[in-house]
Amino acid sequence: MKILIYILLGLVLTFSFFFYHENYLFSQYTESLPQKDDMNIPVNEKAPVISKDQIEIEAPVETVWETLTRINDWPSWQENVTETYVYDEVKEGTRFDWKAGGLSFKSEIHTSNTKSKFGWTGSTIGALAIHNWFFEEKGNRTIVKVEESLQGVLPKLFSSYFQNNLDKGLVTNLKELKSAAEKSFTESKNLN
């Protein structure tokens, strides 16, 4: 019985060390970056899971920007998002909590350049993320590029599972943003 307790204790300590170590590496990455003209925190190209995608939206950049940055409205247009709570106005340094796919996330906005760039870091059990959005105006259309990196114990251990989910998730995010922004733009045109 004592041996079993020692084995379990060893496993708990080992797993705890890995969680702590991954959190430490993430904070070292996000806090030691030099400021530059792009995102305040770019995705981590060395993370075990990284994905990038883009879409063209038939709506002006103002509409697309407002749709994405009204975080409290996410549950109305993102199927997997069930709750959001923003602790302040949407700006760099603002924290927000949200639930999606049965998981709770704690996030902080790291970049907010109106109608140009929007990004946040986030964490949930065993995973840490950097999520960045780029907006390019093309007349009454907008090209939206999104990129995300995931690191932590779980993405490291189950990288192919997390990679598959992240790739699919970004496509879904983009399609849902497109649908919501185009609907909002059409409704605003009909009011005028």
Which residue is associated with the tokens 């995973």? 127
Task: Please say if the pLDDT value at position 56 is more than 60.
Answer: yes
87, 96 Cβ separation under 8 angstroms? yes
pTM of the model: 0.87
- Strand, helix or coil for residue 46: coil
Residue ranges covered by each domain of the chain: 2-191
Mention the CATH class of domain 2-191: alpha beta
* pLDDT single digits (tens) 117-149: 999 999 998 899 999 999 999 988 999 999 999
90: left (phi over 0), alpha (psi -120 to 50) or beta: beta
Residue 61 has pLDDT above 90, yes or no: yes
| CA angle 163–178–164, rounded 5-degree value | 10
- Asked if residue 35 has pLDDT above 60, the reply is no
Hunting for tokens 């109106």 — which residue is that?
A: 114
DSSP string, 115-130: TTEEEEEEEETTEEEE
Say if CB 166 and CB 150 are below 8 A apart: yes
Taking 60 as the threshold, does the pLDDT of residue 164 lie above it? yes
